[in-house]
Chain A
Amino acid sequence: MPAVQSKYDFFHNYEDIQAQNSTYAQRQFLLEEHMEKMPDEIIKSYLNKELEEEKSDKIDYSYSNNTQFIERKKTPVFFIESNPLLERAISLQKWRGIVEEVNKNFFKAKLINLTDKGFDEYAEISNDEITQEDTELIKPGAIFYWSIGYSHSSTGQRRRFSDIRFRRIPIWDEKEINIARKKAKKISSLIGWQ
């Protein structure tokens, strides 16, 4: 059975950060502001950290009854009251699109179904469907995600939405392209392609 772990031991238990919990942060500069949100013993432990470290030099950690010292000498972690995300959404249908042809007012794309297995589809999509700032990303080979579904506002209002969002990743530089070419060449020679 796994050992019981302290609620504040986020350094070793990051998985505890989840929907159920608030968020977290570390460091002394925020300590005063958030002091009331931390157990006193953790604050004291941090303020007396040097003392604890001196003590800990003499401790044999192999004995379980020293666990309290191991716990106490850690830098404290405390919660920042950040605003939770309120508007949630679930897609009914989701595609990954690849731009194949760009025209003045629309582009043609191949759509790969991400919701169900199925055949690839093709579509002509008007540039008006794309957020202004994303229009510069419409180029042959560009990847986008198209989702249709429902969003739920913080007040519980349910809305149908259709959203197209282009993938934003840094452009590969010449060095990376050369590395990829070398890898591809190596693989193709291994499987006997000319």
Chain B
Amino acid sequence: MKNKLPEIKRLIFVLRGNFNPIIFSPVWFASEKLIRKEEAEKAEIQIVHPDVVSFNLDWLRLQVTRDMFSVETIKEPYEEVLRDLIFATFKLLRHTPLKVMGINRSEHFRIDTIEKWHEIGHTLAPKSIWNNILDNPGLNSISTIEDSRRDGLKGYIKVQVEPSKRVHPGICVLVNDHFEVNNPEGIYGADEIINILENKWEDSLKRSNHIITTLVEKLDASGTK
């Protein structure tokens, strides 16, 4: 690979639960002093509606529907800021029932040559099984799951690799660090998930970085050079 550092590093944070989307407007975030007023004024708003809110700031994209809250950034220096924003939001809205949380890291890597790019696909998914079934088969996406979490929490870790749609030739590696509350039917607030966020955030990011770095190193070393 030309560069083992990613060209794009993205953090996507997703919560599943029950939300009142219209609360999550840039004006609300600014009035609660969670973002700067100037940022709220300059926010690029796609929609603010009782059922769905979607807007971008310079460093963040936020979307909320009745059952999902999602924020993402591709500015890595703002990842701690993003975490604080989520933490602060649900400290204020602590009675929001949160059931599931995903801390998702995706990284796009450029690959030296098309040949090496194909080689990576063949390493991840050998094509011999497809002989006489498909002509010229190519890997579209592959995901691997670690079914039970090592930290004892409910959830799983899933790693997905696919051709990058942003960098060509390149690959996109996504780590989905998935957490669930113990009793989703009996959940009445945000505390359980926010506690996990507070206690596991750093571990999660370190683990994701480790998974991606190790995998990319192995893929780089794989096959003929």
Cα distance A17–B106 in the bound complex, in angstroms? 11
Q: A19-B8, A169-B91 are in contact. Are A82 and B54 (CB under 8 A)?
A: yes
Q: Collect the chain B residues with CB atoms within 8 Å of residue A85's CB.
A: 56, 59-61, 72-75
Q: How far is the CB of B101 from chain A (nearest CB, A)?
A: 10
Q: In the bound complex, what is the Cα–Cα distance between A61 and B129 (angstroms)?
A: 33
Judge whether B46 and A80 touch: CB under 8 Å. yes
Per a CB cutoff under 8 Å, which of B16, B63, B73, B106 touches A23? B63
Name the residue among A11, A19, A88 with the largest chain B CB count within 10 angstroms: A19
Contact between A133 and B38, CB atoms less than 8 A apart: yes
Contact check, B108 vs A94: say whether CB atoms are below 8 A apart: no
Inter-chain CA distance A94–B80, complex, in Å, is 10
A88 and B91 form a contact (CB under 8 A) = no
Contact indicator B80/A24 (Cβ below 8 Å):
no
The reply on A180 being an interface residue by CB < 8 A is: no
> Of the 9-residue stretches B81-89, B118-126, B181-189, B207-215, which lies at the interface with chain A?
B81-89
Q: A118 in the interface, Cβ–Cβ < 8 Å?
A: no
Residue A189, interface by CB 8 Å:
no
Q: B84, A167: Cβ atoms under 8 Å? A: yes
CB within 8 Å for A25 and B65 given contacts A19-B174, A168-B84: yes
> Which residue in A15, A20, A87, A145 is a CB contact (below 8 Å) of B58?
A87
Binary contact readout B49-69 vs A (1 if CB under 8 angstroms, 0 otherwise): 101101010111101011110
Q: B interface vs A, CB < 8 Å?
A: 5-6, 8-10, 12, 14, 16, 32-38, 44, 46-47, 49, 51-52, 54, 56, 58-61, 63, 65-68, 70, 72-78, 80-81, 84-85, 87-88, 91-92, 100, 102, 104, 106, 108, 143, 145, 158, 160, 162, 165-166, 172, 174, 176, 178
Q: What are 5 contact pairs spanning A and B, CB under 8 A?
A: A18-B10, A26-B51, A82-B63, A85-B61, A88-B75
